[in-house]
Amino acid sequence: MTYAAETLPNAVQPRFPATGLFIAGQWRETEDSIDVVNPADGSVVASVAAGGTREAFEALDAAVAAQEAWRGWAPRARSALFYRAHALMQERAEDFARIMTLESGKPLTEARAEFNLSTDFLLWFTEQIAHLHGSYAPSSHGGFRIVTTHQPVGPCLLITPWNFPLLMIVRKAGAALAAGCTAIVKSAQETPLTAALFAEVLAEAGLPAGVLNLIHSRDASSVSAPLLRDPRLRKVSFTGSTRVGGILLEMGAANIVNSSLELGGDGPFVVLDDADIDQAVEHAIACKFRNAGQACVAANRIIVDRRVEPDFTEKFLARTRALKVGNGIGPVDVGPMITARQRDRLPATVAELTGAGGTLLTGGAAIDGPGNFFEPTVIRFDAPNDVACSNELFAPVATIFAVDGIEQAIRFANRTTFGLASYLFTGNLSRAVALAERLEFGMVGINRGIMADAAAPFGGTKASGLGREAGHGGIYEFLEEKYMALTVDDPLEAFA
């Protein structure tokens, strides 16, 4: 397979990973391939092997074969391997960042930030491995004891999206492997190279063959459907759209496959009249336009108290107009949409919003030239509007809604089928706590527009998914609680 390295617009070339599938510790080519396209200019960055059902079963065979030995590793031995992987990742930090920019289009500064966050997550799981707990308790009526421990669920299928090519894989594979599970990663078709580089680093750190297997595929269901129907697969952990999450739940239903799902979002970004407006604007810009708006936790509806809305909108608009759009390898704020198809759906979205009463304040059109660029866009509504509810924009398109007071703000914020991230800006602490408790979302950023952290439980309610990633509980998504009833003939009872 080849790399079109000469198309890179910057002199510094990353060292690319192997382009094959990684199964049972071997990099393997196949007869099919996928071109990895740079969304900033349409050039082919690389071509990777593509697999299907046959390779999926081979990967499952390998994961099943490796499972028993891997779960038998002492926790300290597993964490030592993770520490090595963490150090090797640092050595290749710039390769990771540049490859992410080349295949996903995100600005290099964002790719570097994603790299740093991803290694934080790896370190978090590394530290957790030797800290798992069990319990010991008397039974309700005496006579025996209750002993609990946690055991790995078993071989897992991990499916990730392209929008955070490294973070999503580390958050899943880090937890799964730390817990003692083996895994098959199905990379996102658009960003297979980042996934391959991570697999390469783990192998170099000494991960035994078969513990992590990697499949790229142009037909995701040719991998997921057969595996989810094979009783040897014990878990699926998926990040992506709510639609596909539902399909996977259905596929796994017959075998009652343990499922963790991180799905779509409709993040309300609520600004109350006592908020620090400058702070709210800065956070709203980052929360909306990071990754060109292609984030599940992006601000989807910006809901602002009418008393401060003119000030907020004027400043937000000025900041939006100043954003530099372009190829992420250069000094830009906003990169391209991932595909031409994603960019081309946006004029209809803008028309839908303005047709429902929104006023277009800036942007609204695709940018001519190579690459899938779309103008940073702001649309203002003078009142809450259902057109935007449960409608994940996933684009550099911001909607602002003027609302009358707190009650209307919170009711409108909750008017969605999603429940992932929400945001609340206010200068009053007790108001913040009371309202945060009423927001029906898995996460609430209080005076913060970015809240990802390895120590925090990431996940959503309602159609945004099942389960939590990282934080104290994330690793337990890959473990099952085991109870042992222990008969105890208490010698003291004989004297009672």
- C-beta neighbour count of 488 within 10 angstroms: 12
Binding mask 231-260 for ligand NAD (x = CB under 6 A): --------xxx--x--xx------------
For the CB of residue 486, give the shortest distance to ligand NAD in the complex, in Å.
40
Nearest to 214 by CA among 234, 189, 178, 245: 189
Residue 436 phi, psi (nearest 5): -60, -35
Binding mask 471-490 for ligand NAD (x = CB under 6 A): --------------------
Is the Cβ of residue 43 or residue 239 nearer to ligand NAD in the bound state? 239
Asked if 287 is an active-site residue, the reply is no
358 binds ligand NAD (CB under 6 A): no
193 binds ligand NAD (CB under 6 A): no
Binding mask 378-417 for ligand NAD (x = CB under 6 A): --------------x-x-----------------------
191 binds ligand NAD (CB under 6 A): no
Binding mask 203-232 for ligand NAD (x = CB under 6 A): -----------------xx--x--------
Q: CA dist 101 to 108, 128, 335, Å?
A: 6, 30, 9
461 binds ligand NAD (CB under 6 A): no
Of the ranges 48-56, 73-81, 114-122, 182-190, which one interacts with ligand NAD (CB under 6 A)? 182-190
Selected from 107, 165, 264, 474, the binder of ligand NAD by CB under 6 A is: 264
Residue 50: CB partners within 8 Å, gap ≥ 6?
30, 32, 33, 34, 216, 217, 218
What's the CA gap between 7 and 336, in Å, rounded? Answer: 17
Strand runs labelled E in 24-161 = 26-28, 32-37, 44-50, 135-138, 144-152, 156-159
Asked whether the beta carbons of 362 and 377 are under 8 A apart, the reply is yes
Most distant CA atoms of the chain, gap in Å: 90
Is the Cβ of residue 75 or residue 457 nearer to ligand NAD in the bound state? 457
User: Of the listed 262, 309, 375, 477, which one is catalytic?
Assistant: 262
Quick one: 219 exposed, middle or buried, by C-beta within 10 A (0-12, 13-18, 19+)? middle
Is the Cβ of residue 159 or residue 179 nearer to ligand NAD in the bound state? 159
What's the CA gap between 73 and 327, in Å, rounded? Answer: 45
Strand runs labelled E in 286-426 = 299-305, 359-362, 377-381, 397-403, 418-419, 421-425
Quick one: 141 exposed, middle or buried, by C-beta within 10 A (0-12, 13-18, 19+)? exposed
Nearest to 296 by CA among 347, 244, 341, 247: 244
Residue 394: CB partners within 8 Å, gap ≥ 6?
293, 294, 295, 298, 342
| Cα angle 172-173-174, degrees, rounded to a multiple of 5 | 90
Is the Cβ of residue 244 or residue 272 nearer to ligand NAD in the bound state? 244
Is the Cβ of residue 101 or residue 239 nearer to ligand NAD in the bound state? 239
Asked if 262 is an active-site residue, the reply is yes
Is the Cβ of residue 296 or residue 402 nearer to ligand NAD in the bound state? 296
For the CB of residue 245, give the shortest distance to ligand NAD in the complex, in Å.
7
What's the CA gap between 485 and 472, in Å, rounded? Answer: 26
Q: Which residue is nearest to ligand NAD (CB)?
A: 240
Binding residues with ligand NAD: total (CB under 6 A):
26
266 binds ligand NAD (CB under 6 A): no
Is the Cβ of residue 43 or residue 163 nearer to ligand NAD in the bound state? 163
Nearest to 424 by CA among 467, 412, 470: 412
Between residue 156 and residue 175, which ones bind ligand NAD under the rule CB under 6 A?
Answer: 159-163
The total number of residues shown for the chain amounts to 496
Is the Cβ of residue 260 or residue 426 nearer to ligand NAD in the bound state? 260
Between residue 420 and residue 449, which ones bind ligand NAD under the rule CB under 6 A?
Answer: 420
262 binds ligand NAD (CB under 6 A): yes
Of the ranges 6-14, 121-129, 184-192, 422-430, which one interacts with ligand NAD (CB under 6 A)? 184-192
Q: Which residues are catalytic?
A: 262, 296
Binding residues for ligand NAD (CB under 6 A):
159-163, 186, 188-189, 220-221, 224, 239-241, 244, 247-248, 262-265, 296, 392, 394, 420, 465
